[in-house]
Amino acid sequence: MLSYRTMLFDFDYTLGDSSRGIVMSVNAALTALNYPVPEPKDIRQTIGLSLNETFIRLTGCPDLKQAARFTQLFRAKADAVMVGQTDLYPGVREMLEKLQSRQIRTGIVTTKYHYRIDQILVRFGAAELINAIVGAEDVNQSKPDPQGILLAMQRLKSTPETTLYVGDSVVDALAARQAGIAFAAVLTGTTPAEAFQPYQPRALLRGSSEILTMIESV
């Protein structure tokens, strides 16, 4: 694992859990648009998708104008509730500190907004532990398109051979494959371990903090 000099992470269900805020924001947006409120478990299954994709998945409506309005309404509610409804997973801050002490560069590539990740990291006193953030407003194409990963690598001056992406979904695995880098899967999301097998992950982790154990065992 020490051969990786850059470690990039998804956020939702990888470094932290903001599902409460996401459910609240989705419900507020769909209610305002007169759509039925989905079951929370169905909303959680969309975490990690773009907001356009989330709208289409939950409503079955392919209207991009409606999806754009959903995004506006979601964002307005999320601005009010998301940071306070987000938790970092246990051990994540300590893991990031250890990576920094080993001079391993760290980044977050997420479908969340960049400014939202900034706010969350500040809340948990972890802003200085992440060297680059690529959020929804930083790219034209969402994961599994590799644009976000490639942009983070560019900002961190990293190479494919020395970069690892850590995520909780098949979308993350696809993005890493298309970026030409290694992938490690965490099982803190809604994706079962067997779903990752076609992507040959370098590791299956019960949580992102297990990366620390892998490094210290080398």
- The predicted model gives 186-203 an average pLDDT of 96
Indicate the pTM of the whole model. 0.93
The answer on pLDDT for 86 being more than 50 is: yes
> CB 92: neighbour CB atoms within 10 A?
22
Task: Read off the DSSP letter of residue 115.
Answer: H
Q: Which residues of 17-32 are buried (b: 16+ CB within 10 A; e: fewer)?
A: bbbebbbbbbbbbbee
Query: Is 67 in the same domain as 151?
Result: no
Query: Is 198 in the same domain as 170?
Result: yes
Domain boundary among 84, 105, 136: 84
Query: Is 66 in the same domain as 92?
Result: no
Query: Is 23 in the same domain as 108?
Result: no
- The predicted model gives 30-58 an average pLDDT of 96
pLDDT attached to residue 1? 46
Residue 52 lies in a domain: yes
Sign of dihedral through CA atoms 94, 134, 117, 71?
negative
The domain containing residue 91 runs over which residues?
Answer: 6-17+87-216
Q: What is the mean pLDDT of the chain?
A: 95
pLDDT attached to residue 215? 66
pLDDT attached to residue 133? 98
Query: Is 201 in the same domain as 100?
Result: yes
- The predicted model gives 173-195 an average pLDDT of 97
Encode pLDDT of 4-26 as tens digits. 999 999 999 999 999 999 999 99
C-alpha to C-alpha distances, 48 to 42, 135, 161, nearest whole angstrom: 13, 12, 25
Query: Is 165 in the same domain as 195?
Result: yes
The answer on pLDDT for 2 being more than 90 is: no
Query: Is 105 in the same domain as 24?
Result: no
Query: Is 30 in the same domain as 132?
Result: no
The number of distinct structural domains making up the chain is 2
Residue 70 lies in a domain: yes
Q: Report whether 134 contacts 114 (CB < 8 A).
A: yes
Query: Is 78 in the same domain as 11?
Result: no
CATH number of the domain enclosing 42: 1.10.150.240
Domain boundary among 60, 84, 108: 84
Query: Is 74 in the same domain as 147?
Result: no
pLDDT attached to residue 212? 78
Encode pLDDT of 199-217 as tens digits. 999 999 999 999 977 766 5
pLDDT attached to residue 213? 75
Encode pLDDT of 132-150 as tens digits. 999 999 999 999 999 999 9
Q: Percentage of residues in the chain with pLDDT exceeding 90?
A: 95
pLDDT attached to residue 3? 82
Domain boundary among 67, 84, 101: 84
Query: Is 129 in the same domain as 145?
Result: yes
Residue 190 lies in a domain: yes
Residue 1 lies in a domain: no
Query: Is 138 in the same domain as 42?
Result: no
pLDDT attached to residue 218? 47
